Chain A
Amino acid sequence: MTDTMIRNAQGKRPSFYETPPLDQMMSMIMVLAEEVSVLADHVDSLERVAKDKGLDLAEGVKSLKLDQEALEAREARRQAFLSRLFYLMRKEAAEAAAHETADGFIQTIEEIAVR
């Protein structure tokens, strides 16, 4: 008997979607949601601990006036985040512009094999 717990439950896991990878996608989304929730709890804890020590972070956050540098930094971060979030749409648009197709891709593989 090792000193670590078993992580996988015995019993075939059902698939809920016609496309099985969706089951894994959904589990990843839920794990990410869990971590977002952990972070939100953590920020809340930080505010509460600071307040206990006489520093009202929540009030400070509320009354914070963003200067130009801060506005730009935030907007840049949000745009970068959105561009990561939608990277597959960027890719799709780029493929359309370059006329890249699945057939063309296979054709390239076949050509390289013999040339």
Chain B
Amino acid sequence: MLNTFQQAQHDMLPVATPDEASRQEFTKSLKQFIQSSILPGLGPVYRARAAKKFEAETGRAPADRHDIRKAMVPDPYFQHYAAVNRISQELLWDSVIDSIDAQLPDLKAKAEAYSAKNPGKLMIPENFQVPRYVSALDIHCMPGGYAGRAGGDSVGLGVLYDRGVFLYAMGYTGPDNDDMGRSVCNYVKRRLNGFSPKRILDLGCTVGHSTLPYKELFPDAEVWAMDVAEAQVRYGHARAGAMGYEVNFVQGNAEAIDFPDGHFDLVVSHILLHETSGKAMPKIFKECQRVLAKGGFMIHADLPPFDLMDPFTQFILDNETYYNNEPFWGAMREMDQVQLAKDAGFPAETIRFDTAPMAVMEFAQAADGYSQEAAEAVNDREFTAGEFAPGGGWEVLIAQKL
């Protein structure tokens, strides 16, 4: 199945020249090729030679993902896989930066204009400290990272994330990059016995990709999007304005949420937890519990914990830790999230992992390049480590405050 998915153009995205667009398409095609044609060879290479070589040298079979890593790192097939995967990531950001650099003053002006069209609040506190787990490395190798360097308020990083993540995800999360939010919304609507939230908080929202579906699908709800990165929050507020939504954006830290106790009835996050830290995660769970009203739900959508996977799958996933500036990616998957939720005060019987089915089929034929067949193919895949997004659905951790 050819992936021809195209991002929906909205007014806050830069317009790429034909050559810029071709470079961007190339990086997306390269990622698709790596995942569909190079990645599957890693298993055979590991079993046929890398594991045997390791055993010959150490006198024992590789026992866990760390051993498998030692066995694979010297292997030429793995070296090419990892090198080209990293290069695809670097070319991706660079191809988007070309478009942004050419239009930055214009994009800043547009951000102000479209921000004014979003009736939701935009709150940027003074002297906000970006936590080290976000500022120490540029996550996903995105130059500048989420938050930029000191004093960086450029919306350019929001633009970069918006366009770059579409290419990174190869369009698997839909023309508006919003499949995760949309899938969790569907889950709330269809699986929580008619629960209909009135005040929703999305933690680690970046530019609001996953946030906006909550406003679309719960139009009467008051929706708040929070992130530590000013550039992302500012851009997100403008993007919501450009797309015609009233959503509040606030720069804030999920470890110390600046809202009163019991203020929200739904607190969600989408691929946030693996970008925090071992000390931050328990605090975030406690804060979720505190700001929830009785009867309210906490839902975190991320990838599944390592104990649900075999060591080779763990090894493939852990490459993100080493090669894509994802320092907490591996360690997070070893945390006992159910225990964290219990420790935060959620009753044990309300805590569970579940799958929120991907909503990507619902975009079919409504957007450029999204055929019914291709969208279904994304959804029907088996989970394969190293591909973007599991087939079938997003792993969600759910707990309810009683």
Interface size for B (C-beta < 8 A) is 48
Bound Cα distance A105, B340 (Å): 68
A9 and B84 in contact, given A34-B27, A38-B23 (Cβ under 8 angstroms) = no
A-B contact count (CB 8 A): 93
Partner of A4, one of B26, B101, B136: B101
Dominant SS at the A interface?
loop
From B83, B137, B148, contact of A17 by CB (8 A): B83
- CB-based contact A41/B25 at 8 Å: yes
Where chain B touches its partner, the secondary structure class is helix
State the Cβ distance, A75 to closest chain B Cβ, in Å.
Answer: 30
Q: Tell me the complex Cα distance, A8–B29, Å.
A: 23
Interface status of A27 (Cβ within 8 A of chain B): yes
Task: Determine if B143 and A45 form an interchain contact, defined as CB atoms under 8 angstroms apart.
Answer: no
The 8 Å CB contact of A5, one of B84, B90, B105, B144, is B144
Within 8 A of A (CB), among B1-54: 18-19, 22-23, 25-27, 29-30
B19 contact from A1, A9, A42, Cβ within 8 A: A42
Decide yes or no whether A23 CB sits under 8 A from chain B: yes
- Which residues of chain A are near B74, meaning CB under 8 Å? 18
Check B83 against A45 for contact (C-beta < 8 Å).
no
Report A20 CB to chain B, min CB distance, Å: 11
**Which residue of chain B has the shortest Cβ distance to A44 in the bound complex?**
B22
> A6-B144, A38-B23 are contacts. A16–B18 as well, Cβ < 8 Å?
no
Considering only residues 133-152 of chain B, those with a C-beta below 8 Å from chain A are 136-138, 141-145, 148-149, 151-152
Distance between Cα atoms of A23 and B90 in the complex (Å): 13
Name the B residues within 8 Å of A14 (CB-CB).
Answer: 82, 86, 322-323
Q: Is A30 an interface residue (CB 8 A)?
A: yes
Chain A minimum-CB-distance residue to B73: A16
Q: Does A104 contact B (CB under 8 A)?
A: no
Instruction: Flag B122-164 by CB within 8 Å of A: 1 or 0 each.
Output: 0000000000000011100111110011011110110010000
Question: A7 near B94 (CB under 8 angstroms)?
Answer: yes
**B86 in contact with A30 (CB, 8 Å):** no
Contact between B142 and A16, CB atoms less than 8 A apart? no
Which of these, B18, B26, B160, contacts A34 with CB under 8 Å?
A: B26
Contacts of A37 in B (CB 8 A): 22, 25-26, 29
- Confirm or deny: A31 has a beta carbon within 8 angstroms of a beta carbon on chain B: yes
B315 at the binding interface (Cβ < 8 Å)? no
Task: For A7, give its contact among B26, B91, B97 (CB under 8 Å).
Answer: B97
Complex Cα–Cα for A8 and B137 (A): 11
Residue contacts A-B, CB under 8 angstroms, 19 given: A1-B151, A3-B104, A5-B157, A5-B160, A6-B143, A8-B143, A9-B138, A9-B141, A11-B138, A11-B325, A16-B80, A23-B83, A26-B84, A30-B30, A31-B91, A33-B26, A37-B25, A38-B26, A41-B25
